[in-house]
Amino acid sequence: MDTKKISVLYLDDEVENLNSFNANFRREFTVHLANSIDEAYSIIESEEIHVVLSDHKMPHITGIEFFETLCKTHPSIARILLTGCSELNVVVDGINRGQIFKYLYKPMNIDLVRKTIKLAYEKFLEDKRNQMDVIELMETNEKLEFMLRQKLIS
């Protein structure tokens, strides 16, 4: 797998965390960094993003709330929640509301994050293939319905 083509967005309000993430992953992935929700949305609208990692505790909005919106507007983007918080309700909300792919703890385990990004990208590709299959099935169904109507009319 050519990992350089994996486009990753990391959202965190702490600049040191963004710099560390970039230093660790910029050679392996196409890395985009955002330290605010608005900046993250801007990047998502202008770039093809495959995987988003977000800190949970952000000013004005949580990572889960961000992901909840993101799964409505960009459902195929894989979502990974990073947090130092180990409360069960955060995990449950992340899964139920933000439809996260994985939940990882801070401080980051670099190897685990790398592996998780690759797995999330595989999920992204699978979701895209499934979307294309659904579109193809719908088109085929429309053609068959048209042919059936033509046969019934004649």
Residue 22 reports pLDDT greater than 90: yes
Task: Give the mean model confidence (pLDDT) for residues 90-107.
Answer: 72
- Amino acid at residue number 88: L
Percentage of the chain beyond pLDDT 90 is 49
What are 31's strand-pairing partners? 8
Residue 94 reports pLDDT greater than 80: no
| Exposure string over 11-20, b if 16+ CB within 10 A, otherwise e | bbeeeebbeb
**Centroid of chain to Cα 153:** 48
Which candidate, 54, 42, 51, places its Cα nearest to that of 12? Answer: 54
Which candidate, 67, 112, 62, places its Cα nearest to that of 87? Answer: 62
- Every domain of the chain and the residues it spans: 3-127
Task: Give the mean model confidence (pLDDT) for residues 20-30.
Answer: 95
- Amino acid at residue number 28: E
Task: Give pLDDT tens digits for 49-89.
Answer: 999 999 988 888 888 899 999 989 998 899 999 887 766 56
Res 61: pLDDT: 87
pTM for the model: 0.80
Task: Give pLDDT tens digits for 28-56.
Answer: 999 999 999 999 999 999 999 999 999 98
Percentage of the chain beyond pLDDT 70 is 88
Beta-carbon count within 10 A of 93 CB = 20
Question: How much is the mean pLDDT over the chain?
Answer: 87
| Alpha-helical runs (H) found in 52-109 | 63-73, 88-96
**Centroid of chain to Cα 78:** 2
Which candidate, 90, 71, 87, places its Cα nearest to that of 79? Answer: 71
CATH architecture designation of domain 3-127? 3-Layer(aba) Sandwich (3.40)
Res 58: pLDDT: 85
Using DSSP, state whether 23 is helix, strand or coil.
helix
Res 122: pLDDT: 92
CA pair distance 49, 78, nearest whole angstrom: 9
Residue 148 reports pLDDT greater than 60: yes
